[in-house]
Amino acid sequence: MILVTGGTGLVGTHLLFDLCKSGKQVRALKRGNSNVANVKKVFSYYSANPDELLKNIEWIDADLMDVHSLSDVMEDVTEVYHCAAIVSFDPRFEKEMMKINVEGTANMVNVALLKDIKKFCHVSSIATIGHSEHAELFTEKLLWKLSPNHSNYAISKYAAEREVWRASEEGLDVVIVNPSLIIGAGNWQQSSSGIFTKGYNGIKFYTDGTNGFVDVRDVTSLMIALMKSNIINQRFILNSENLSYKPFLDMLHQEFNKPLPSIKAVKLLSNIAWRVEKIYSWLTNKPPFLTKDTAYSAHAKNRFSNEKIRNAFPDYKFIPIEQSIKDTCRLFLKDKAVVSL
């Protein structure tokens, strides 16, 4: 039996599809208020018979903070994919994010050790990769140093990784993946998929920042490949391409036949904008569109190496980001057409 946490998220839904498509029996954790309808929608993107595949999933409502329930959930489980996490740059969710991302991960690996789980895959983030002014490409070897520029999310994911490494020293076989900005279809208001909603509505501003991008289908395919391999106790950057935000946004808007972003947001404008957003959020009690952390990251020039994962699987070919954008925009428009009927 395979256990997947975070089964209703972007990575989780696509991972469940890949596992079910290969005939695996899967136990998936979700929060009590999570909507599994989105899982069926994602399955329908890639299969004409999503209901048949969904029969392979045993859904269980569970709390990562409840060690006793996790012990029951991991009964008869041999492999764990830990995808569950809170992704937020809103300061109001800092405590909850630290609790779920760090303590929740600690609980998962502790129970996995007790249950003698054979292998544990942890989904981390590119945010935990160390940076260096002297490195053209950031690699898994760079040390992560605490900095005022690190977001609370990055700090929480780094602390979660430390729990996984601690468990590996205690005997749990683990692999960690560090995806860059993930492109994929699903909940169009959630995680990185939300940028397609914003792109469809039209984005006027762009920055000169650079980031890594990867298709969600590559993320899940490589997670499964790592779990099948003899590789243990290593981490891997999952990154297809490094792009400036301007060409990325241009490709997205071209697919939607929308005017291209034309106003360059310099750092001063971004710093004013996030402060205005903070006031607006406080007055309306709505989550801010822009925060101090996202404003900073929008101008950062980050480039990530995928050499290590390519050396591990030399025959693997990443989906080009242009194709990823085309596929995701097509599914967005398909969903929008259905909603409009």
Residue owning tokens 């000169």? 208
Confidence of residue 36 (pLDDT cuts 50, 70, 90): confident
Rounded Cα distance between 56 and 21, Å, is 9
Q: Domain locations in the chain?
A: 2-184+213-240+303-319
Where helices occur in the chain by DSSP H, the ranges are 10-21, 37-46, 50-54, 67-73, 94-98, 104-114, 152-169, 194-201, 216-228, 245-255, 267-284, 292-299, 307-312, 321-340
pLDDT digits (tens, 9 = 90+) for 277-324: 656 566 666 666 656 566 556 677 889 999 999 999 999 999 999 999
In terms of average pLDDT, the best of 22-26, 60-64, 193-197, 214-218 is: 214-218
Roughly how many angstroms between the first and final C-alpha of the chain, as a whole number? 40
- Predicted pLDDT at 86: 83
Question: What mean pLDDT is predicted for residues 253-259?
Answer: 92
Question: What mean pLDDT is predicted for residues 26-36?
Answer: 81
- pTM: predicted TM-score of the whole model, two decimal places: 0.90
Q: What is the mean pLDDT of the chain?
A: 87
Q: How far is CA 200 from the centre of its chain?
A: 21
Distances (CA, A) of 123 to 224, 238, 249, 273: 12, 10, 26, 32
Rounded Cα distance between 80 and 3, Å, is 5
Question: What mean pLDDT is predicted for residues 157-167?
Answer: 95
Query: Which pair of structure tokens corresponds to residue 270?
Result: 């971004």
From the options 3.40.50.720, 1.20.810.10, 3.40.50.150, 3.40.109.10, give the CATH code of 2-184+213-240+303-319. 3.40.50.720
Question: What mean pLDDT is predicted for residues 61-88?
Answer: 89
Question: What mean pLDDT is predicted for residues 157-184?
Answer: 95
Question: What mean pLDDT is predicted for residues 229-251?
Answer: 95
Question: What mean pLDDT is predicted for residues 11-18?
Answer: 95
The residues, any chain, with a CB within 8 Å of residue 217's CB and separated by 6 or more, are 14, 184, 319
- Predicted pLDDT at 152: 83
pLDDT at 96 over 80: yes
- Predicted pLDDT at 341: 35
Question: What mean pLDDT is predicted for residues 257-272?
Answer: 75
pLDDT at 276 over 70: no
- Predicted pLDDT at 160: 95
Residue scoring higher pLDDT (277 or 57): 57
Percent of the chain with pLDDT strictly greater than 90 = 52
pLDDT at 261 over 80: yes
